[in-house]
Chain A
């Protein structure tokens, strides 16, 4: 159609103005795209590391455990449930865990350990962030009498690999139980909370000590982060047991998901600011181009062009500007995003200090962007839509031009 030809050529009529407009839209779009992908990456990283330490994408726990973290809230027949899960899903990674807290004592020190994770060593090892961060010794082997502790704890207790420590904690009945363990491995995450207050032992040993029998605190299930809510619903249908709580990571880690929500909201505020800038820029430049073409539209209407065609013409013009800006912004934004994906940003250098903790999750790894098709689609679609919407008021103005007046006003 000739209308497309007119539109395409019109945008280059005022080259400088068009380039300024396109730069503004393009840069705004590239920032939007980059920050969206940075958020995605950061949130995923936080969710993952939070989950790996104390939850899963999905957890099955005794009712009330998420609140009270007590041994009394327990899953009594974990193996029966795991069987159901394995029968119905084929790619779930499942770990049984017993969580409690206690004291570690050495000849030279004594510390409180907030989280003692009695776990299946092999399964845990596959997903653990701590295993790659061992600075001495080895991961749990499944043999009796092992413990893996953090570097801060080791320093406070003045222990090394193979040193003996004593673990004491209340069992299910509330009686304090004690056992002697050997330090098998020492990890260092950089987060003091984790390096001091988190320790791993073997699940069988923990169960026996705590008089739990077959029961565990948690069945942690790992699947795709995006699918977790959906899978949670499916599991709830399969395992209908009122003594259990089955929840996805968002419910299992409320502080983390709240932080992420707030962070998302701040992202939307940023988005609105960007949108206002884009809208104002488009409105202004389209209005200018309509005003200076008043006579031209008058002539076009005189020879029989319909108001809707003129409206379409202006809309197509700004849609083209929007599209070109998005292409330009995509190249810039996606390049930056890719660089950050490839090399990462050190959170410590970003926030200062050695390690950064956000909502109870230590950010010890580099923040990387997460590049998804959907993030590209929705950001570009919304910017395009916005440029079109912003062009509507000036386009209506052009469509309403009265030919006799326009032709007279020279």
Chain B
């Protein structure tokens, strides 16, 4: 079953008298366990799309199923719970609570879920180890590099074992070397845990790491293809060139 299923998603922002059509009918299905990059030029609608998938924003029209649920039928609390239990988020920057240590930032999600203390401890230690930050567990965000902070964010997104992790330009604030190792980590976690990753980027290096690439131009899917391990395009689902 597809973890994300979008049908004719449109999003129109209204700014005074101006209407901005950010998404103009997106059809997209993403299967469980995929590792997908959404790319496209600035202003093409990547963030808007991720926000809708992440239940942070409503589409103007169209149907969005996330983890099998039609998000337009859920109320604010249900959406919040869906995010808390099924979706992990990694933002571009400033992901973490500044007054909490790496450990506590990761623990926060489990704490919000109301998990028992011993289970939390075990999981947080495990996931920090997986992202290679066991030694920095007691550091606060300000005492860590950008790359380390993003790893903590990945750990936080992963710790509750969600079905889906959404990352909006997770490497944009990192140098290419650090970005690369973050992506490697995410790819590895994807393979080990089977958790679905969906992230946006306009970095070509990021695309090299992705199995599937969805290119968005002007609020529509312009290209959607899956690559083999050598990076060759092996399957092109929909090419909708309009530019």
Chain A contacts to B: CB under 8 angstroms:
1-2, 5-6, 9-10, 13, 295-296, 299-306, 309, 403-404, 407-408, 410
Contacts and interface: CB of A to CB of B under 8 A. Distances in A.
Given A304-B83, A304-B112, A404-B51, A13 B98 contact: yes
B152 to A, nearest CB: 12
B108 interface: yes
A304 B56 contact: no
A2 B99 contact: no
B104 interface: yes
Nearest to A12: B99
Contacts of A2: 100, 104, 107-108, 111
A306 B77 CA distance: 7
Contacts of A306: 77, 80, 112
18 contacts: A5-B100, A9-B99, A13-B99, A295-B94, A296-B94, A296-B98, A299-B91, A299-B96, A299-B97, A300-B97, A303-B88, A303-B108, A303-B109, A303-B156, A304-B85, A404-B51, A407-B56, A410-B94
Nearest to A306: B80
Nearest to B108: A2
A203 B148 CA distance: 94
Main secondary structure of the interface of A (DSSP, over half): helix
B91 to A, nearest CB: 6
B61 interface: no
A317 to B, nearest CB: 11
A176 to B, nearest CB: 88
A6 B99 contact: yes
A142 B57 CA distance: 94
B199 interface: no
A321 to B, nearest CB: 15
A302 B111 contact: no
Interface of B: 47, 51, 54, 56-57, 77, 80-81, 83-85, 88-89, 91, 93-100, 104, 107-109, 111-113, 156
A309 B80 CA distance: 12
Given A9-B99, A299-B94, A407-B91, A1 B54 contact: no
Contact of A299 (B57, B88, B95): B95
Given A304-B83, A304-B84, A296 B51 contact: no
A296 to B, nearest CB: 6
A303 B107 CA distance: 12
A403 to B, nearest CB: 5
Given A309-B112, A403-B56, A302 B99 contact: no
Contacts of B83: 302-304
A300 B83 CA distance: 11
A301 B83 CA distance: 9
A6 B97 contact: yes
Nearest to A11: B99
A301 B82 CA distance: 12
A108 B187 CA distance: 116
Nearest to A308: B77
Contacts of B56: 302, 403-404, 407
Nearest to B57: A404
Nearest to A13: B99
Contacts of B47: 408
Given A13-B99, A296-B94, A303 B89 contact: yes
B109 A304 contact: yes
A360 B156 CA distance: 74
A5 B94 CA distance: 19
A295 B111 CA distance: 21
B86 to A, nearest CB: 9
A9 B77 contact: no
Contacts of A6: 97, 99-100
A13 to B, nearest CB: 6
A306 B93 CA distance: 22
Contacts of B111: 1-2
Contacts of B85: 304
Contact of B81 (A295, A296, A301, A304): A304
A6 B81 CA distance: 21
